[in-house]
Structure 1
Amino acid sequence: MANSPEMRASDADRDRVAAVLREHTAQGRITMDEFHERLERLYESRTYGELAKLTSDLPDVDLRNLPAKKSEEPAKRAGMHSGMRAAWGVWAVASSINWVVWFIVSLTSDGEVHPWPLWVMGPWGVILLMSTVFGGNGGKRP
C-alpha cells in the first residue's frame, strides 16, 4: 500500500528525512541555517506530505549507498597516526633550534664546542623511533 500525503508519519520516518537533510548539508546543497530551519519544521511535521515538502527541492539520496570518504592520508595508510607525526615534528623543530644555537655558540667562542645537541635529540629520537616501530596499537588510534 502506497503512503498517501495525508497519512501520519512516524519518528523513524522523521529520522530518515533528517539523515537525508544532513547528507545534503554535507554535500553543500543547503546551508547550516537552512538545515536548522528545515530540521525544526521536520520535527513539527505530522504527515508524509509535510515531510515531502522539506526535501522537494533536493535530489533523491540513497543513504545506503553513500560514497566512501577519501580523507585517508598517505601517512595514515602507512600506519602512523597524527599524534606520532606531531611528536616527530616537535622533535625535528627542537633539534633544529638546538643545532642553530650550537652553531652560533661555536662561531662566537674561542675554542671547540662539544656538539651537545646530540644529547638532546639522541635519546628523544630513540624513544620516538621505538614508539613508532613498536607502538602498542599498531599505528591506529583507539
Structure 2
Amino acid sequence: MDGRDEMRAADADREVVADRLRVALGEGRLDLHEYDERVQRAYAARTYAELEALLTDLPPVAPAQRSGLALAAGQTVSPLDDQRGPASTRGVTARWLAEVWFPYLRVIAIVVTIWAVTSLLSQDLLYFWPVWVAGPWGAVLVIRTVSGLAAKEPQRQAIKRQRRRERKKAKRAIKPDDTPPTP
C-alpha cells in the first residue's frame, strides 16, 4: 500500500468511479442492485483506497496512466476525454438532443391537448390545427439536429459547460474576505 491510498479523494475522483461503474452496468458486468450499492459507496468514499476497492474486479477502460485514480496530484480528467469511450459521447449527445427537442415536445403536447379538449367540448372532431405548429417547427428542428450533429455541436456545448463549471469553482475558491488587509 502506497501513501496515495490514504489520500483524500476529490469529487472529481468519485465522478470518475461512478462513470466507470455506469459503463460496467451498460456492459452487463454489474447488475442493477450491485451498481446502485457501489455508486452509493463511491459517493461516500473518503480515500483513493476506498474508491479503488470498488473497481478491483472490473477490467480497466483506460491505460493506468490515463485513469482518474492513477493521476498524480494536480492533474484533471476532461469530461470529454476520449479514453472514457463512446458512452460519454452518447450522454453528451443525448443531453444536447433533449435540450433541442424537449421544448418542442412540451409545446406540441399542450397544443394537441387544447385541440382535443375543444373537440370534446364541441362534440365534434375539429380541424387538426396543431399540425401548423408542429410541422414547420419540427422541420426546422430536424435540420438543426442534423447540422448540429454533423458539426459536433453537442461536444462543443459540453466543453463550454465544463469551462463554466471550472470558472465557477475557481471563483468560489477565491473569497473576497481572504485578501490581506492593506496598511
Question: How would you bin the TM-score normalised by the shorter chain?
Answer: 0.3 to 0.5
Q: Which structure has the higher relative contact order (CA within 8 Å, separation 6+)? A: 1
Q: TM-score, normalised by structure 1?
A: 0.47
Q: TM-score, normalised by structure 2?
A: 0.38
Higher helix share: 2
Select the structure of larger CA radius of gyration. 1
